């Protein structure tokens, strides 16, 4: 239990460290590597829905603290994202790299579509510009890095059970 | 909904965990600005603030480094500019002195710029440029505010060759300002001049100022030449051996004045 708490604490510290130290350079103006979303996706895709929800809730909570007016909103959206990532791990066949990348890209896109609406003050011009410019670049960068990280992580640590219930059911081995 | 009643909601599976998270998020969303501000402030101060401070410190270091580089380049530029301005100031002071001298001297004089000077410790000529002046003749005396330099020996194109007092053939009829003893100033060796043909009983003392006497008609009367550095008795001749240190330092000359040559000099009236 203590190990888990420490692990989650380190994950949150890493998110805070990224925001505080590197976010200005790697994600200026919210355009670039979205480390918080990356963490949520990786937790969901590698650990399942529960971990995804937990990661989404915690990461969403601490990042919401930077914009207190929207405290709780990011937590809600990110938890949903983590749940979706975890469920996609369990219900989709994600052995192919392109499939993982697609899940990453679609997830970030849906996240931004939902999350940015109140953040932009329901100004459709700002909302559209944010999605077209900022989100597009962020999706490209984050999904590629996330996919590569996931592949590297799984090649480093072989899963005890094959990914995806469909794969295990039809007996496809890697 | 049973998951809500469990103490460990995340152990009940993703649905319960999600439900708890959404409820927490909703509670936070509908809470008042004061509560939101307090929670956010607490989290930001404990979680983000150290990293933002570190980022600011790192940026400060780079900023100081960049500023240091900029200041260094500025220092180099300003040092060069300072040297240029200092030199310009010296030149200005020199030219002002010369302008004042031109007024005081009463002679009709033309300024000239030294374009070539003796490279060896003792060498008898310098090259000067006096612009487009056509009124300068061979033999015109060349002076500075400090004293006599020599006379124009030749003209080559737009330049004048000046034979300075360090040349053996440049002789000046001279007089001791204090005792009025006359003689002939001539270079013999070394950096000093020799005040020749002073009788053994001539009243010449160390420190006396030697001027041109005007008797040779090449140089006008009263131009300072130098001061007596040593006086010795030469047992082989009937004259004193007087060494004169010239007032003008020929090796560092930059600007000179050429006096319009006249066959018979008359002492000008000072204004």
Report the pLDDT value the prediction gives residue B271, as an integer from 0 to 100.
37
Of B10, B18, B59, which to mutate for an interface test with A (greatest number of A Cβ within 10 Å)?
A: B18
Full DSSP string of B113-179: EEEE--SSSS--EEEEE-TT-----TT-EEE-SSSEEEEEEEEETTEEEEEETTSTT--EEEEETTT
Most confident range (mean pLDDT) of A1-5, A162-166, B133-137, B142-146 is B142-146
Which of these, A103, A76, A82, lies nearest to A92 by C-alpha position?
A103
Residue pair A164/A94 in contact (Cβ under 8 Å)? The answer is yes
Most confident range (mean pLDDT) of A53-62, A144-153, B89-98, B252-261 is A53-62
Structure confidence at residue A163 as a pLDDT band (50, 70, 90): low
Of A9, A13, A20, A54, which to mutate for an interface test with B (greatest number of B Cβ within 10 Å)?
A: A20
**B47: contact with A, CB 8 A cutoff:** yes
Report the complex ipTM: 0.77
Least confident of A91-105, A139-153, B107-121: B107-121
Average pLDDT of A99-121? 88
Residue pair B195/B185 in contact (Cβ under 8 Å)? The answer is yes
- Look at residue A134 and tell me whether its pLDDT is greater than 80: yes
More confident residue, A171 or B208: B208
Which of these, B59, B43, B52, B57, lies nearest to A21 by C-alpha position?
B52
Residues of chain A contacting B36 with CB distance shorter than 8 Å? 68-69, 71
Report the pLDDT value the prediction gives residue B266, as an integer from 0 to 100.
57
Per-residue pLDDT of chain B (271 residues; tens, 9 = 90+): 444 444 455 555 778 888 989 999 999 989 888 898 899 888 888 888 888 888 888 888 888 888 898 999 899 899 999 999 998 888 888 777 777 766 666 677 788 888 876 555 446 788 888 776 666 788 889 998 889 999 988 887 778 888 888 888 888 999 998 989 999 999 877 888 999 999 888 899 999 999 998 887 788 888 899 999 999 887 778 888 899 999 998 888 888 888 876 666 555 544 3
Report the pLDDT value the prediction gives residue B4, as an integer from 0 to 100.
41
- Cα separations (Å) of B270 from A6, B60, B98, B106, B261? 100, 68, 16, 6, 18
Instruction: Report CB contact under 8 Å: A60, B52.
Output: no
- Look at residue A38 and tell me whether its pLDDT is greater than 80: yes
Residue of A nearest to B30 (CA): A72
Report the pLDDT value the prediction gives residue A157, as an integer from 0 to 100.
60
Question: In this structure, what token pair is assigned to residue A102?
Answer: 């697609």
More confident residue, A159 or A91: A91
Residues of chain B contacting A55 with CB distance shorter than 8 Å? none
- Cα separations (Å) of A49 from A41, B13, B61? 10, 8, 43
Average pLDDT of A59-80? 90
Question: In this structure, what token pair is assigned to residue A81?
Answer: 């994202």
How far does the CA of residue B67 sit from the closest CA of chain A (Å)?
20
At B218 the three-state DSSP class reads: coil
Instruction: Report CB contact under 8 Å: A50, B14.
Output: yes
Nearest to A19 among B17, B48, B58 (CB): B48
Distance CA B158, CA A84 (A): 95
Work out whether strand B193-196 and strand B240-246 pair parallel, antiparallel, or are unpaired. Answer: antiparallel
**B60: contact with A, CB 8 A cutoff:** no
Report the pLDDT value the prediction gives residue A170, as an integer from 0 to 100.
58
Report the pLDDT value the prediction gives residue A30, as an integer from 0 to 100.
78
Report the pLDDT value the prediction gives residue B208, as an integer from 0 to 100.
92
How far does the CA of residue A60 sit from the closest CA of chain B (Å)?
9
In chain A, what are the helix, strand and coil shares in percent, each to the nearest 5? 80, 0, 20
Instruction: Report CB contact under 8 Å: B24, A73.
Output: no
Distance CA A43, CA A58 (A): 12
Q: How many CA atoms within 13 Å lie on the side-chain side of B217?
A: 3
Instruction: Report CB contact under 8 Å: B22, A13.
Output: no
Using the 8-state DSSP alphabet, how is residue B269 labeled? P
Q: Give the start-end residues of each E strand in A15-87.
A: none
Report the pLDDT value the prediction gives residue A56, as an integer from 0 to 100.
93
Residues of chain B contacting A76 with CB distance shorter than 8 Å? 21-22, 25-26, 29
- pTM of the complete model: 0.52
Most confident range (mean pLDDT) of A52-66, A117-131, B149-163 is A52-66
- Look at residue A1 and tell me whether its pLDDT is greater than 80: no
Average pLDDT of A81-108? 84
């Amino acid at each position: 239990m203590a190990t888990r708490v420490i692990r989650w604490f380190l994950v949150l510290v890493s998110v805070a460290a990224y925001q505080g130290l590197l976010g200005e350079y790697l994600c200026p103006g919210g355009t670039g590597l979205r480390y918080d979303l990356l963490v949520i996706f990786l937790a969901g895709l590698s650990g399942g829905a529960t971990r995804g929800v937990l990661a989404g809730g915690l990461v969403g909570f601490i990042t919401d603290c930077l914009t207190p007016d929207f405290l709780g909103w990011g937590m809600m959206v990110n938890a949903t994202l983590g749940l979706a990532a975890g469920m996609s791990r369990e219900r989709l066949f994600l052995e192919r790299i392109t499939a993982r990348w697609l899940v990453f890209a679609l997830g970030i896109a849906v996240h931004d579509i939902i999350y940015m609406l109140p953040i932009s003050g329901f100004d459709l011009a700002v909302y559209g510009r944010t999605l077209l410019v900022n989100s597009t670049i962020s999706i490209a960068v984050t999904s590629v890095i996330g996919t590569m990280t996931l592949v590297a992580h799984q090649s480093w640590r072989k899963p005890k059970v094959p990914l995806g219930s469909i794969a295990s059911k039809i007996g496809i081995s890697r | 909904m049973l998951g809500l009643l469990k103490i460990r909601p995340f152990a009940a599976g993703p649905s319960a965990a999600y439900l708890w998270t959404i409820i927490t998020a909703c509670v936070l969303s509908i809470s008042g600005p004061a509560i939101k501000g307090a929670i956010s402030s607490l989290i930001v101060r404990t979680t983000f603030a150290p990293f933002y401070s570190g980022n600011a410190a790192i940026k400060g270091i780079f900023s100081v480094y960049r500023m240091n580089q900029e200041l260094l380049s500025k220092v180099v530029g300003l040092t060069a500019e300072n040297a240029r301005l200092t030199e310009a100031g010296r030149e200005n002071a020199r030219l002002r002195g010369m302008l004042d001298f031109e007024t005081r001297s009463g002679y009709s004089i033309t300024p000239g710029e030294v374009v070539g000077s003796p490279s060896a410790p003792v060498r008898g000529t310098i090259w000067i440029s006096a612009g487009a002046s056509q009124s300068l003749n061979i033999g015109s005396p060349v002076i500075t505010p400090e004293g006599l330099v020599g006379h124009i020996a030749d003209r080559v194109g737009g330049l004048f060759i000046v034979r300075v007092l360090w040349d053996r053939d440049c002789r000046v009829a001279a007089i001791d300002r204090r005792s009025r003893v006359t003689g002939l100033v001539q270079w013999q060796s070394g950096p000093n001049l020799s005040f020749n043909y002073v009788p053994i009983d001539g009243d010449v003392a160390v420190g006396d100022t030697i001027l041109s006497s005007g008797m040779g008609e090449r140089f006008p009367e009263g131009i300072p030449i130098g001061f007596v550095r040593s006086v010795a008795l030469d047992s082989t001749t009937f004259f004193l051996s007087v060494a004169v240190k010239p007032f003008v330092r020929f090796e560092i000359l930059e600007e000179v004045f050429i006096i319009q040559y006249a066959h018979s000099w008359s002492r000008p009236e000072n204004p």
